[in-house]
Structure 1
Amino acid sequence: MKTLLLLLTTFCSLTALGQISGKVTGSKDEAVPFANVVLLSAQDSSIVMGTSTDENGDFRLSPAQTGSFFLRISSIGFQSHQSGVLAFSNMAIQLPLIRLVEESNALGEVTVAARKDLIQNTPTGKVINVQSSLMTKGSSALQVLERLPGVITDRRNSQFSLNGQNGVTILFNGRRVPMSMEELMNLLESTVADNIEKIELITAPTAQYDADGGAGIINIVFKKNENEGTRFNLSATVGYGYREKALTSVGVSHGFKKANLNASYSFGHNHDYSGYLGHGTAIFPFLGGFNSTDFGGLTERIQQVHNLNLLAEFRPTPRTSFGGEFSLAAGKTHNLVEILGDRIMPDGSFLGSRGYSDGTNRRTNLISSVYLNHKLSAKSQLNFDLSYLAYTNDSPNLVSYRYFDKERNEIPPTNPIFNYGNRGQSHSTIHVGVFKADYALQISAKVHAEAGIKGSYTKNANDSNVERKVSDAWEPDPRTQSNIYGSEQIWAAYTQFRFLLNPKANLQAGLRYEYWQRNINTVKDAFTIAQLFPSVVYSFSPNSQSSINLSYNRRISRPAYTDLISNLFYTDATFVFTGNPLLKPTITDVLKAEFNKKGYSVGLSFQYDLHPILRYQITANPQNDIGMQSPQNLDYQKSINLFLSAPIQLASWWKLTLGSNTALRRYKISYSINPAEKTYLFQNLSFTQSFSLPKNFEIELSGWQNFPFFDGANRLNGFGMVNLGIAKKLKNDKGTFQLALPDLFQTASYFTHIGSMTPIAFHIRSESHFRDESARFRVVKLTYSRSFGKNTRSINRNSDDEERERLRK
């Protein structure tokens, strides 16, 4: 077998195919030397190979496979050019003369600047070129995600959804970040968006991706310069809302002939204010029966963050490259929270309370990796990747309470369950090691194969405790636990084949096996799952302007470590925030069809989720003497989803992109007082408008709206926002000023009706209104950015006219 494989590899490496050749000129037919020429697959826009034009503007490419491709050509000072689809079948193709257009063309009083499309469709999802948005400068990664089409970021519950579906995995440069959603949101809020090149929304992942993430994958790809020469980038943002905001970042990159180095540092300061108010009723046996409460929590937050990113890649030979990435994020957040609570007790008496919480959160996150890529032959490649992640979080907190009668006179609490305060500390650590290896082989002109293995080992630890202040003494609270620790190991192997059925059709089929085991010291038995995850993607391009994609995949959404551990802390005397050791993972099956034409896209999918996970649901403990806010499993959820996207060029200077996501869903819950089922219609709308105006001005107006929907036993009113950005590019490359007005109409408000779908524990019915800072105060940000230095040309990595390229689309 080994001999056969060796002979097959040698045969493939010696097989010679035809060439694709052409010439690139400017608008006056002058040659354009050293232009970057990249050949991409027409099926999924993946990079096949690349080269550069010579001094006469000529280029030649020798693909190692047949199929449908297109060319993307770029050069400094010119607009990028994209060809139509080329059907390559081992025959030489001589392209007509390719003329590039200068970067800026005056059209009367209007200037049109070259820029990548904000949204690009692929067979596996969408690519969002976030640097094409004026709102990216001065924002955090979390704020950018909140503005992406189809992504809903719920800060109240620390939860993401993609196309209205929960269960999303976040990747940094293709690497999973294995931490809880609360910790991950803190990291994203500490990550400067200026360093992000693009974000991939992968809703039909293939077998080479981890199986985690039932709704799909959000892959955040950071900038990486790959040009020869030195370049400096500087950005500074000042802003004001409730209080001051500032952000500054500096980056430097240098490209050698056989290496490239990148470094960036940023510092951010944000002083904001947000909170919620609500009213509810409940029947608490431990309080004597029926009571009603006006409640709230108003938070003043002061946050400071540091980001350091280092990347290096070396190419000692045309066939070998190796490098490393290092990212360090450190942040400190000071939270001052006013806790409001006015109760009408079961006996009709009034008890008012005011609590003041003073907490500090210090966290550091380190992500490091090294990799090696080696071409064994013209037809095969081997990749190795080794990563290490370390995360720490310290969160001391002190809360004090005072109690009042109806006339606001201070009184002692009327029930022993109420206390004068609590103090606590929590120290969490996560350590993760990951190894993976991938092998790719072009078996024939029509068959490409990939195979790989991956192993990861994670150690988690949390040491937390809470003390109650009773009279003037502090005493341990029996509802808290400390010294919770655990480990997780995942072993995976996959194989995937891509078949070129004909010049217009492509089929990818893969199978992934994953073994997952998690141990927690508070749970007697380890949780173990071994599962196969198939995936199939069929793509058909009838012509150069349209494509049809059909896909099926199975995914898993594993509960986070913090979703499983028990009794972390409590918010007031009647509720405990807790984990659920019995939580099951979600298994998701998705069947999807999509049609694309000239940038327009329409898709239809059918999705079945077994045991989907919802966070912060209300139940009671077995003794029925305390409320529990914990993650719970739905029994199931079925959905039919319709996706629409339409880029409309209203004028040469005005572009509009519209998006729509409609879903008919049915689900069942059993953690409520009685099992219940619900069918409802979910609707999301989004838009982005960009205007190129005289005097190098640009305007971007974008927004989104979610209509009312259900979250387990709860109902949420519709919510949305509109964002405005204005940019002025100075002459002679002196930089750019950008003014951002996020949440232009101050509508970042969220109404939640708890227990409106079906009765829940203690027959709780409440309405809560959360308002973010931008809904309370006008937020304004002004950014100045400029690049210095000069890149001479793109780094050429050709080996027999082949390029092993880690370019970004």
Structure 2
Amino acid sequence: MALLVTCSAMAQVSGRAQTSGGQAASFATVTLHSNTDSTFTRSVLSNDAGEFIFSGISKDLYFISIKSLGYQTVRSVVFQLDDAHPTYNTGTLTLQPADRQLSEVVIRASKPVVRQQEGGLVVDAQASILTKGSTVMQVLARSPGVLVDVQTGAISLNGKSGVMLMIDGKLLRMPAAQANALLAGMQADNIDKIELLSTPPAKYDADGNAGLINIVTKKNKKRGMSGSVSVSAGYGRGEKLSGDANVTYNAGKLSLNGEYGYYRSKGYGLLLAEGTENVPLIGGQTEFHYNGQWKPTANSHNFGAGADYRLSTKTTIGGRFYVSKSAGQNKGHNFGNYLLPDSNLVFDSQLLGNTHSTYSHQNAYLQSILSAAQQLSIDLDHFGHQNNGITSVQSNFSNSLFAPTQRSLANSNINVWVAKADYSDALSKSLKLESGVKGTFTSSKSVAGIENLVNGQWQPIGAGTSNDLGTRENILAAYTTLALQVDSLTKISAGGRYEYSHNYTSHSLNAEFAVDRKVKKLFPSIFITRKLNATDELQLSYTERITRPSFNDLASYVSYNDPVSVFTGNPALKPTITRNLKLGYQLHDYVLNLVYSHDTNPILGVQALTGPTEGLVYLKPANADWQRNLTLQAVIPVKVASWWEMNYSLLAGWHQYRVSFFPSLLQKGYTSWSVNFTESFKLPKSFSAELSGNYYSSGYDSNLKIGGNGVINLGLKKELGNQNGTLQLSVADVFGTSFFRSHMGTLVTDSFNSNVHVQYRPESNGRPIFRLSYTRPLGISVKKQERKDGGNEERSRM
């Protein structure tokens, strides 16, 4: 209590910095000076919105100065802080361009690799030297609290699935497999930061019970021509090649940019399974040994172009076009031995899958500064995704359902239109309003199924193994948030987001797949922040979120897995409603978060369930009854010496869930933990090195027990100097320890009496992946204010 009394006697100064063009002056140096002798008192950096705040200040006469590269220093008026005036807001201070351009400026500074913001953590992607030559998916997998299932591509955050992915604030509204393929083909060299928003505020879409992951790309605004080129080559069990080039031309009012990227990777995966299972399709209870070997090849070309034009000092319009074309081939060899009471069946098959997909995004925007306190932005977006895939199977195995020659088809066409408007207004020195409306309109058409080759003709297998489906989804949303600076130490931000969604099938050949679902809900959020002193802060928040079933989850496909099982969707899936209560504490750069969440109807991944065809195993998603999580997260940066820095992220959790779709009720509670670490070393002669890794303890998922797993990565970088770029060598999974184990049927007996042990060995298991990368800048890049443009949360659920 004595601490609070002391702090309440201190004063606070806040304000905002912007450029002469009306854009926020992000990361400007703001200095507080004593007016008595102009001595330096304290310095901070402005945030992404150009805002700054000084807390815990002694009473005195002060003035503020603001500096930013390429701009003249601006100075505020002198102001008094005393008992009658404990707070002061400078308003918006405008930076004017410098009279002359500097030929070259080299700035060397460091910022925290991981830092706290309202809603979650921010990871500086370029702080790691392993970023060069890596894909966005690989960098994401190394982020604290993020777990990427190397077999299925499923992403979880802080131990929970149901994560929505965003790029520059726009949701990736496409099937999870295609979203993962897109990120696997994107070069991480162009990534600025990754926002891990476990409890996002109301301005973000309410989708995602585990929260949002926002991947923010780099921008630059240097006058004239600038850009960079990057090439990378590597090898594991197959070659890895990538190249990227981007260029920006800024003529003041008009800015143009373009980019091209190429990615190619040959991979490897080995699946081993053994156990017992009751499969009536081949004769009942069987003991089996199964292995599947996969050799995927991925190729992608990515193109992007954009333009921004300043109509006036207060209004900017612009647009952007992006397209990604990818082709993949997956060669597989599956072998199985099924031991029945009176016979022994041997399964041997060759699989060849070919997939072609195109993803495109077009955006147009208008951003206007209506007054010193008011801003308006309007965005229109279109996202398109087309995917055509066919997998052929040659097998020595036949039964009542499958012929020796089969093929699996999966074709989809998805279009998303988004319209969004956001408005902000500083109603007073202590009260700020943010509000907006958004409409998202999605149409999807998919044809999928499995066919047998009979007498030279392709014939559908039968009920439950094919579908021709058309779906639509409309989401209308509105949000309002009020941020109140209660006093010099306390800030409250409260708001709500109302969403109406209508999800329905517009066409289906199978009446079982008919869906017509409407959801209307208000999602409240509140954040209370209390400064304990100049460096320590407490935060308490409450948020609510929803996870709507994707169209794939609801039944848009049927695909072959093995002679006794198929992958499919579940039209009976319900949306998940999540409530989060979070307590956060920050001490300097140390972060500690305690989060409790409760999920109603959480959506579980692949489950072995019965279906229309008797005896066939249907692998599909299903709802659990509920799930509770209590997680403790700690981010611990340590600077051992000027040449050695460490960063550790620890996560410990207690989890409990209940599932009732098995023959008997399943209720389970367990604890888990994980650690991510990075050790960075500055070496002589412009060399640097990094050692990083992670470990995830064992845990449970429905009726599956999952073993622990960990990896160690290594990177070495050389700055060539004189604008000659950087050369980097990285080694992923140095000791080949990436090895995933699970046990199905460990808790209750399922519909097939399964007792199965599974091992999955990815490409790096036993053989590290080496990459050599070279990057060279074209001109001098300066990071640009990130514009919050408008389909701002769009591409992840399709």
Tell me the TM-score normalised to structure 2 length: 0.86
Trace 1:621-632 onto structure 2 (pairs within 5 A).
Answer: 621=611, 624-632=614-622
Residues 684-725 of structure 1: per-residue CA shift (max 9 Å, x gap): 111111110101111111111110000111010001211111
Change (3 A) 1:389 1:805: closer
How far apart, in 2, do the equivalents of 1:569 and 1:56 lie?
A: 59
Secondary structure of 1:731's counterpart equals: coil
Does residue 1:562 correspond to 2:543, yes or no? no
Trace 1:41-120 onto structure 2 (pairs within 5 A).
Answer: 41=52, 58-60=73-75, 88-89=88-89, 114-120=109-115
Does residue 1:391 correspond to 2:385, yes or no? yes
Trace 1:254-333 onto structure 2 (pairs within 5 A).
Answer: 254-333=249-328
Paired residue for 2:493?
A: 508
Does residue 1:439 correspond to 2:418, yes or no? no
How far apart, in 1, do the equivalents of 2:65 and 2:246 lie?
A: 26
Which of these residues, 189, 201, 205, is aligned with residue 206 of structure 1?
201
> Are 2:448 and 2:556, in contact at CA under 8 Å, matched by a contact in 1?
no
Paired residue for 2:535?
A: 545
Shift of 1:444: 1.1
Change (3 A) 1:119 1:55: closer
Change (3 A) 1:21 1:703: closer
Secondary structure of 1:164's counterpart equals: coil
Paired residue for 1:11?
A: none
Change (3 A) 1:574 1:741: same
> % of aligned pairs identical?
32
Does residue 1:454 correspond to 2:465, yes or no? no
How far apart, in 2, do the equivalents of 1:209 and 1:674 lie?
A: 39
How far apart, in 2, do the equivalents of 1:402 and 1:392 lie?
A: 33
Which of these residues, 522, 532, 547, is aligned with residue 532 of structure 1?
522
Residues 559-598 of structure 1: per-residue CA shift (max 9 Å, x gap): 1110001661221221121110000110000000010011
> Are 2:663 and 2:750, in contact at CA under 8 Å, matched by a contact in 1?
yes
Flag structure 2 segments of 5+ consecutive residues without an equivalent.
Answer: 1-28, 39-43, 56-63, 94-103, 790-798
Change (3 A) 1:37 1:546: closer
Trace 1:666-745 onto structure 2 (pairs within 5 A).
Answer: 666-745=656-735
Paired residue for 2:451?
A: 467
Paired residue for 2:366?
A: 372
How far apart, in 1, do the equivalents of 2:143 and 2:731 lie?
A: 16
Which of these residues, 108, 128, 131, is aligned with residue 133 of structure 1?
128
Change (3 A) 1:228 1:352: same
> Are 1:36 and 1:52, in contact at CA under 8 Å, matched by a contact in 2?
no
Secondary structure of 1:733's counterpart equals: coil
Shift of 1:491: 0.4
Change (3 A) 1:336 1:536: same
Counterpart code for 2:74:
F
> Are 2:118 and 2:201, in contact at CA under 8 Å, matched by a contact in 1?
no
Paired residue for 2:477?
A: 492
Secondary structure of 1:769's counterpart equals: strand
How far apart, in 2, do the equivalents of 1:662 and 1:784 lie?
A: 38
Does residue 1:338 correspond to 2:353, yes or no? no
Counterpart code for 1:500:
Q
How far apart, in 2, do the equivalents of 1:515 and 1:709 lie?
A: 36
Change (3 A) 1:43 1:765: farther
Shift of 1:234: 1.0
Change (3 A) 1:805 1:282: closer
Residues 651-683 of structure 1: per-residue CA shift (max 9 Å, x gap): 111011111111111110011121110010021
How far apart, in 1, do the equivalents of 2:65 and 2:573 lie?
A: 48
> Are 1:274 and 1:773, in contact at CA under 8 Å, matched by a contact in 2?
yes
Paired residue for 2:100?
A: none
Paired residue for 2:176?
A: 181
Shift of 1:532: 0.7
Change (3 A) 1:53 1:144: closer
How far apart, in 2, do the equivalents of 1:685 and 1:631 lie?
A: 29
Residues 706-751 of structure 1: per-residue CA shift (max 9 Å, x gap): 1000011101000121111110111322111100101111112111
Secondary structure of 2:722's counterpart equals: helix
> Are 2:92 and 2:372, in contact at CA under 8 Å, matched by a contact in 1?
no
Counterpart code for 1:395:
G
Which of these residues, 26, 51, 74, is aligned with residue 40 of structure 1?
51
Secondary structure of 2:384's counterpart equals: strand
> Are 2:150 and 2:762, in contact at CA under 8 Å, matched by a contact in 1?
no
Shift of 1:128: 1.0
Change (3 A) 1:402 1:41: farther
Counterpart code for 1:773:
E
Shift of 1:376: 1.2
Change (3 A) 1:62 1:127: farther
Secondary structure of 1:536's counterpart equals: strand
How far apart, in 2, do the equivalents of 1:435 and 1:804 lie?
A: 16
Q: Which stretch shifts more, 325-334 or 208-217?
A: 325-334
Q: Which stretch shifts more, 464-473 or 715-724?
A: 464-473
Does residue 1:382 correspond to 2:388, yes or no? no
How far apart, in 2, do the equivalents of 1:566 and 1:238 lie?
A: 37
Residues 72-114 of structure 1: per-residue CA shift (max 9 Å, x gap): xxxxxxxxxxxxxx96445999xxxxxxxx9989xxxxxxx53
Paired residue for 2:764?
A: 774
Secondary structure of 1:528's counterpart equals: strand
How far apart, in 2, do the equivalents of 1:152 and 1:599 lie?
A: 24
